[in-house]
Amino acid sequence: MTPRYSNFITLLLLTLAINSFAQQQNDSVKVIKAGRLIDVEKGKVLINQYILIDHDTIKSIGPNINIPTGVTVIDLSNSTVLPGLIDCHTHLTFQPGENYYDDIFRKTPVDLAMIAPIYAKRTLEAGFTTCRDVGASAFIDVSLRNAINRGDIPGPRMLVATLFIGSTGSHGDLNGFSPYLDWSGPKQMTGVANGVDGVRAQVRYNIKYGAEVIKFGASAGVLTEEASVGAPQFSQEEMNAIVEEAHLWGLKTCAHAHGTVAIKMAVKAGVASIEHGSFLDNEAINLMKTHGTYLVADIYNDDYILSDYAKHGTPEKIINKEKLVGKEQRLSFQRAVKAGVKIAFGTDAGVYPHGWNGKQFKYMVKFGLTPMQAIQAATINAADLLGWKNKVGSLSTGKYADLIALKNDPLTDISLLEQIPFVMKGGIIYKNELKK
């Protein structure tokens, strides 16, 4: 080969490489043209906005931004664009099956792990690009989170709690069955712990294997067979120890708490959020305001439990507990909203079918929030609770390009958020039905 011909080939290959790199850059950079954009930080709607995205990040946003030539333009000029939604109380690794006792006794963690990716995909396609997953068996949530982060499967960004920490005989333990059924020990990897030293050790165990938030049972619960629905199930000293230990490791805590006394104990211990919050009195509400504690109240799923659970063999005592709790929880939510308690969106998805998360919005509006406040609860407020306000929760420069779009305005019809036609996470479109 002559030197002249060799130089030509080298130049040709270099040109092709440069063009290929330029094409890759163009593919990774895109612009969204938004007809209406909900600014959740300022609580207003902006018109004719452009969002410049580079790979997975928003680089600039506004009505007049510099748009590079040759980039992909996604035309949402006839749509309402808002940040990807956040659910602060999910269980992506399970949901009720056809039989209550089959779920308890015949399904292994492997069974749950096999189907969890389906639930993750449904959640993402429902417009929830981020979730806090607050309890899973055998660290399935950690593996699910890692697979999503690697790009192996589609799903929301996950902040995981791993094992639910509960005392012996509590909502986090197996109740109402023969003592010969032993679910304790490392083989089953339960979160059952007792005493100050025991709960500290359990917090460390959870963190060792991937927990990013600590969830514990401050009170009894509904969907288990202990008699009480809201009595405290840890002492004040134990709750204090859980929160203190988590803080030593730089993690927030959230407390499953239905009963009034347990709610107050958990707030005094310093939890970041009360989950459920079914029986709030004025003192509990004032404590939450003083401590800046978020309320994460799953006020939709009462409808589903009462309409469907009995069909699948759920014990009558559990159905009766839900009848007791559901109405009071909604009234407590209403009082908390009126008093100015901080609200973050959380549904307890997994108690009802995954992908139905958006059904809760209209209940939040019915019981006191404005449509804008309900959206803020599922975006900027939720991001604040997670400690991810610099990553997600609003459409802002430097944050992930997580967004959804609707044909019409959810501020005039909040139920539109039950069916999301366009979903983008990290600059990648996972769903687009706007053209149909």
pLDDT of residue 9: 45
pLDDT of residue 190: 87
pLDDT of residue 12: 40
Do 162 and 175 share a domain, yes or no? yes
The Cβ-side half-sphere exposure at 316, using a 13 Å CA radius, reads: 0
Q: Is residue 299 part of a domain?
A: yes
Specify whether 341 is located in the same domain as 409.
no
What pLDDT is recorded for position 8?
43
Beta-strand relationship, 403-406 and 57-62: unpaired
Does residue 188 sit in the same domain as residue 80? no
Q: How many domains does the chain have?
A: 2
pLDDT at 351: 96
Say yes or no: 406 and 292 in one domain. Answer: no
Cα–Cα distance, 149 to 142 (Å, whole number): 10
Dump pLDDT digits (tens) for 244-280.
999 999 999 999 999 999 999 999 999 999 999 999 9
Same domain? For 73 and 124 the reply is no
Domain range enclosing 380? 85-386
Pair 401, 366 in one domain: no
Q: Which residues of 311-345 are buried (b: 16+ CB within 10 A; e: fewer)?
A: eeebbeebeebbeebbeebbebbbbbbeeebbbbb
Q: In whole angstroms, give the CA distance from residue 163 to residue 205.
A: 9
Same domain? For 380 and 406 the reply is no
| pLDDT score of 62 | 96
- The enclosing domain of 35 has a CATH number of 2.30.40.10
Query: How does pLDDT run along the chain (436 residues), one tens digit per residue?
Result: 554 544 444 444 333 333 433 343 447 899 999 999 999 999 999 999 999 999 999 999 999 999 888 899 999 999 999 999 999 999 999 998 888 888 888 888 999 999 999 999 999 999 999 999 999 999 999 999 999 999 999 999 999 999 999 999 899 888 878 877 766 555 557 899 999 999 999 999 999 999 999 999 999 999 988 889 999 999 999 999 999 999 999 999 999 999 999 999 999 999 999 999 999 999 999 999 999 999 999 999 999 999 999 999 999 999 999 999 999 999 999 999 999 999 999 999 999 999 999 999 999 999 999 999 999 999 999 999 999 999 999 999 999 999 999 999 999 999 999 999 999 999 999 999 997 5
Of the candidates 42, 80, 37, 43, the residue with the CA atom closest to the CA atom of residue 372: 43
Query: Is the same domain home to 267 and 410?
Result: no
Residue 18, domain member (yes or no): no
0.85 cut: is pTM over it? Answer: yes
Q: How high is the pLDDT of residue 15? A: 38
Q: Are 155 and 171 in a shared domain?
A: yes
State which amino acid sits at residue 304.
Y
- Taking the CB of residue 42, how many other CB atoms lie within 10 A of it? 9
Cα dihedral 159, 163, 164, 165 in deg (nearest 10): -120
Looking at the fold, whether 69 and 120 belong to one and the same domain comes out as no
Quote the radius of gyration of the chain (alpha carbons, Å). Answer: 24
Cβ-proximal residues to 188 (8 Å cutoff; 6+ apart), any chain: 137, 138
Same domain, 301 and 417: no
Write the CA distances from 29 to 54, 72, 151, 229, 361, integer angstroms.
4, 7, 19, 52, 33
Beta strands at 44-54 and 273-276: parallel, antiparallel or unpaired: unpaired
CATH number, domain at 379? 3.20.20.140
The reply to whether 362 and 407 lie within a common domain is no
Residue 388 phi/psi, 5-degree rounding, is: -115, 25
